[in-house]
Structure 1
Amino acid sequence: MARTKEFDPDAVLQQAMELFWEKGYEATSMADLVERLGIARASVYATFGGKRELYLKAYDRYVENGIDIIGLLSQPGPALPAVRALVERYAEEAAQDTRHRGCLVVNTAVELAPHDRTLARRVEANWDMIETALASALTRARAQDELGADKDPRALARFLLTMMQGLRVIGKSSDDPVRLRDAAAQALSVLS
Structure 2
Amino acid sequence: MTRGTTDGKMPPAPILTGNRMARPREFDEQVVLDALVHCFWSRGYEATSVRDLIERTGLTGASLYNAFGDKRALYRRALDHYVEAGTADRIRRCEAMEPLQAIRAFFDEILRRSLDDGERKGCMLVNAALEAAPDDEASRAAVTGALLRLETFFLESLREGQASGTITSAFAAEDLARHLLGVLMGVRVLARTRPEPALLAGVVAPALALLEPVRARQG
- TM-score normalised to structure 1 length: 0.89
Q: Which residue of 1 aligns with 2:129?
A: 109
Pick one of 71, 75, 79 that aligns with 2:96.
75
Partner Cα separation in structure 1 for residue 71 and residue 82 of structure 2: 16
Q: How many residues are aligned here?
A: 190
Q: Which residue of 1 aligns with 2:79?
A: 59
Partner Cα separation in structure 2 for residue 187 and residue 121 of structure 1: 28
Distance 1:83 1:40, change over 3 A: same
Q: Which residue of 1 aligns with 2:69?
A: 49
Please say if residues 62 and 104 of structure 1, whose CA atoms lie closer than 8 Å, have aligned partners that are also in contact: yes
What does the per-residue CA deviation read over 1:149-179, in whole Å, with 9 as the maximum and x for residues that have no partner? 3221110110001111111111122232321
Matched residue SS, 1:190: helix
Instruction: Kindly provide the amino acid, as one letter, of the partner of residue 71 in structure 1.
Output: R
Please say if residues 84 and 188 of structure 1, whose CA atoms lie closer than 8 Å, have aligned partners that are also in contact: yes
Instruction: Kindly provide the amino acid, as one letter, of the partner of residue 13 in structure 1.
Output: L
Please say if residues 91 and 106 of structure 2, whose CA atoms lie closer than 8 Å, have aligned partners that are also in contact: no
Partner Cα separation in structure 1 for residue 136 and residue 24 of structure 2: 34
Matched residue SS, 2:211: coil
Shift of 1:106: 0.7
Partner Cα separation in structure 2 for residue 63 and residue 17 of structure 1: 10
Q: In the alignment, does 2:219 pair up with 1:170?
A: no
Give unpaired runs (5+ residues) of structure 1.
Answer: none
Please say if residues 88 and 181 of structure 1, whose CA atoms lie closer than 8 Å, have aligned partners that are also in contact: no
Give unpaired runs (5+ residues) of structure 2.
Answer: 1-21, 213-219
Instruction: Kindly provide the amino acid, as one letter, of the partner of residue 52 in structure 2.
Output: D
Pick one of 155, 159, 163 that aligns with 1:139.
159
Higher relative contact order (CA 8 A, sep 6+): 1
Partner Cα separation in structure 2 for residue 93 and residue 59 of structure 1: 18
What does the per-residue CA deviation read over 1:48-73, in whole Å, with 9 as the maximum and x for residues that have no partner? 22211111111111111013354344
Pick one of 130, 144, 149 that aligns with 2:150.
130
Partner Cα separation in structure 1 for residue 184 and residue 24 of structure 2: 44
Please say if residues 94 and 102 of structure 2, whose CA atoms lie closer than 8 Å, have aligned partners that are also in contact: yes
Q: Percent identity?
A: 37
- TM-score normalised to structure 2 length: 0.79
Q: Which residue of 2 aligns with 1:188?
A: 208
Please say if residues 113 and 123 of structure 1, whose CA atoms lie closer than 8 Å, have aligned partners that are also in contact: no
